[in-house]
Chains A and B, each alone.
Chain A
């Protein structure tokens, strides 16, 4: 049960967002709802979803009502969607694999699901949800390792990093010069920093602005007039100024740029800051905003091609989990069947013992033989019950069977209460 970028606009999503103390209070409230035995809450900037184990028919409306009350959104039900049973399992697996994300295949969601799962571990997590989230994370990992759904760059800063990596391999220890103090330049430098770029030089029209951005990205500030002297020692140049005309030209590079050294220039400004003829200078790899957009488009198309294969992997894993979950539902019926048979044997043996004294060794042998025979007889019915359990349609029939096999005297069957649904 929950909402995502597919069902609700950002103004609604931010009202439903749960974090910190509010998240803890919400989980407590959710668990206090009758019929809710286990829960995990996943709250990111694009979705807030509650994964609950309990009788779906009984708790669906109660959880929705509580969630709407918590968010304080009138007519909030219109934004909520819910999945029950296998559909809920498939949904979580798709979410974890990044197939339900705003940017298909984005990798952060795997970490966010893992965080939600580990946050709930021990407190609100039962064996069903424990196994469900472990399987979902495994499926997500499998999707990412077996397909190219997460490969390629789908944002301007990521595309810039991708291009730089195609030239330099690792960016560890490299140095970058950023000219301009705009938002896109700052984001790109942050992205490069996270890839291990060591030194950052920041050049701006005024030293004060360069110093301000320098503090934000841990860079060395300088005025725009001073940057050519740094060209010989940097590997990457990012230009992002609002200058009216291109000021980086082959003539400017002459004397400063070492031709034996490879330099990547990322011109993310509009109008362009770097003259196109600069691309002809040996050792220079020049890319503008259109080039970066083309890299992004290619990556998006490649991800779309991978989508079908990723869906197949997710479906396979979800169905495997569901088969395990359904078989687990058969445990009370199987225990009742075996317990009943065992009880019959014990009663018969007790009656025989009461008839007169018996040889202890002979009795042990008889007991073992009876147990082995019993196991053989019950093997077929046990397998049949397990097979039946894989079909969700038989849930009621199994419940009935378990009740029918349960003896009138309470306490001798130590079966757990079955989970009636997962949503």
Chain B
């Protein structure tokens, strides 16, 4: 009950922060950053408190099961956004980064944040490393995709000479390109570690590569899609617009894979 309450309060804070930021973005002046940023930070603190309560009450980290894992992924994205914003002093990414945080948090609260009894082998350091790597990889890839989407919007504004809110509020193309590249590179590294540890884990238990598991399928598709985006970025003419397009396509491919797998068996539970 307490966990649900804390996570719901965190959701409300993130939603209020996003609405305030959106109002400032749509206005002609500059909305003060302090109120919405304070709300986002309070949301993150409540979010941490909710997950810590889960850990203490259930004596297991919130990594297994859709509810706990999506709540943890939401926290990773929120913290990643706040860290990037703090380091680069670029906060406009919140406009695109906070909605996935809210969606994941809402999904977690909706489906219930209760522990799933893990398989016997799914305990211990290796499994934690696997889940943490995958979740931080997804969070980083999502932030990289947000930067890539912002790049495309800013590119469009500059090409079409639309000197409105996007032009004024979004960072430069160069900054967005570097942020996007960093997000995808870190995300790919973490996802690779996650997939390798997951594979070793399943081999240890003699199950082979569990390609029938939808979360494995989504993981592999994401790895391939973002891998292509990374290769494009590394090519001589790949930086900038082309890299941003491939990163956004990779995000769409991963999301489409998830949605189609869920749609194939509507009776199944959400997975992550």
**Is A285 touching B158 in the complex (CB atoms < 8 A)?**
yes
Query: How many of A's residues come within 8 Å of B, CB to CB?
Result: 27
Interface residues in A280-322 by Cβ distance below 8 A to B read 285, 287, 291, 294-295, 298, 301-302, 305-306, 309
B168 within 8 A of A: yes
**Is A305 touching B161 in the complex (CB atoms < 8 A)?**
no
Stretch from A86-94, A125-133, A146-154, A377-385 that touches the partner? A146-154
**Is A166 touching B173 in the complex (CB atoms < 8 A)?**
yes
Q: A303 to chain B: closest CB distance in Å? A: 9
**Is B172 touching A306 in the complex (CB atoms < 8 A)?**
no
Query: How many of B's residues come within 8 Å of A, CB to CB?
Result: 22
Q: What B residues does A122 contact at CB under 8 A?
A: none
In angstroms, Cα B177 to Cα A168, docked, is 10
Q: What B residues does A152 contact at CB under 8 A?
A: 168
Q: A124 to chain B: closest CB distance in Å? A: 38
Q: What A residues does B171 contact at CB under 8 A?
A: 169
B205 within 8 A of A: no
Given known contacts A166-B173, A169-B174, A260-B236, A148 and B30 CB-to-CB distance under 8 angstroms? yes
Given known contacts A260-B236, A260-B237, A148 and B29 CB-to-CB distance under 8 angstroms? yes
**Is B172 touching A287 in the complex (CB atoms < 8 A)?**
no
**Is A302 touching B159 in the complex (CB atoms < 8 A)?**
no
Q: What A residues does B192 contact at CB under 8 A?
A: none
B240 within 8 A of A: yes
**Is A285 touching B172 in the complex (CB atoms < 8 A)?**
no
**Is A305 touching B163 in the complex (CB atoms < 8 A)?**
no
**Is B32 touching A146 in the complex (CB atoms < 8 A)?**
yes
Q: What A residues does B27 contact at CB under 8 A?
A: 305
Per-residue CB contact flags for chain B residues 150-174 toward chain A (1 = under 8 Å, else 0) read 0000100011010110011001111
**Is B30 touching A147 in the complex (CB atoms < 8 A)?**
yes
Q: What B residues does A295 contact at CB under 8 A?
A: 163
Residue of A nearest to B178 (CB): A169
**Is A166 touching B172 in the complex (CB atoms < 8 A)?**
yes
**Is B158 touching A166 in the complex (CB atoms < 8 A)?**
yes
Q: What A residues does B174 contact at CB under 8 A?
A: 167-170
Contact of A259 among B29, B163, B237 (CB under 8 A): B237
Residue of A nearest to B34 (CB): A146
Interface residues in A259-277 by Cβ distance below 8 A to B read 259-260, 262
Q: B77 to chain A: closest CB distance in Å? A: 24
Interface residues in B8-28 by Cβ distance below 8 A to A read 27-28
**Is B154 touching A166 in the complex (CB atoms < 8 A)?**
yes
A15 within 8 A of B: no
Interface residues in A99-153 by Cβ distance below 8 A to B read 146-148, 151-152
Interface residues in A137-191 by Cβ distance below 8 A to B read 146-148, 151-152, 163, 165-170
A279 within 8 A of B: yes
B175 within 8 A of A: yes
Q: Chain A's interface: helix, strand, loop or mixed, by majority?
A: helix
Q: B186 to chain A: closest CB distance in Å? A: 20
**Is A302 touching B28 in the complex (CB atoms < 8 A)?**
yes
Q: What A residues does B161 contact at CB under 8 A?
A: 287, 291, 294
Q: What B residues does A259 contact at CB under 8 A?
A: 237
**Is B28 touching A305 in the complex (CB atoms < 8 A)?**
yes
Q: What A residues does B30 contact at CB under 8 A?
A: 147-148, 151, 302, 306
**Is B167 touching A279 in the complex (CB atoms < 8 A)?**
no
**Is B158 touching A167 in the complex (CB atoms < 8 A)?**
yes
Q: What B residues does A146 contact at CB under 8 A?
A: 32
In angstroms, Cα B167 to Cα A152, docked, is 11
**Is A305 touching B240 in the complex (CB atoms < 8 A)?**
no
Per-residue CB contact flags for chain A residues 215-255 toward chain B (1 = under 8 Å, else 0) read 00000000000000000000000000000000000000000
Residue of B nearest to A159 (CB): B163
Per-residue CB contact flags for chain B residues 170-206 toward chain A (1 = under 8 Å, else 0) read 0111110000000000000000000000000000000
Interface residues in B132-164 by Cβ distance below 8 A to A read 154, 158-159, 161, 163-164
Given known contacts A260-B236, A262-B240, A298 and B163 CB-to-CB distance under 8 angstroms? yes
Residue of B nearest to A148 (CB): B30
Residue of A nearest to B170 (CB): A166
Q: A188 to chain B: closest CB distance in Å? A: 18
Contact of B175 among A169, A262, A287 (CB under 8 A): A169
Given known contacts A168-B172, A169-B171, A260-B237, A301 and B28 CB-to-CB distance under 8 angstroms? yes
In angstroms, Cα B159 to Cα A287, docked, is 9
Residue of A nearest to B31 (CB): A148
In angstroms, Cα B31 to Cα A306, docked, is 10
Given known contacts A152-B168, A168-B174, A169-B172, A285 and B32 CB-to-CB distance under 8 angstroms? no
Interface centre among B28, B32, B175 (most CB of A within 10 A): B28
Per-residue CB contact flags for chain B residues 26-54 toward chain A (1 = under 8 Å, else 0) read 01111010000000000000000000000
Q: What A residues does B240 contact at CB under 8 A?
A: 260, 262
Q: What A residues does B173 contact at CB under 8 A?
A: 166-169, 262
Q: A316 to chain B: closest CB distance in Å? A: 15
In angstroms, Cα B161 to Cα A163, docked, is 10
In angstroms, Cα B30 to Cα A44, docked, is 29
**Is B168 touching A167 in the complex (CB atoms < 8 A)?**
no
Q: A48 to chain B: closest CB distance in Å? A: 32
9 pairs from A and B in contact (CB 8 Å cutoff): A146-B32, A167-B174, A169-B175, A262-B173, A291-B161, A295-B163, A302-B168, A305-B27, A306-B30
Known contacts A298-B168, A302-B29; 9 additional CB pairs below 8 A are A147-B30, A152-B168, A166-B154, A168-B174, A260-B239, A285-B159, A294-B163, A305-B28, A309-B29
Query: Which 9 pairs between the two chains have the least Cβ-Cβ distance?
Result: A260-B237, A148-B30, A305-B29, A169-B174, A169-B172, A305-B28, A169-B175, A298-B163, A306-B29
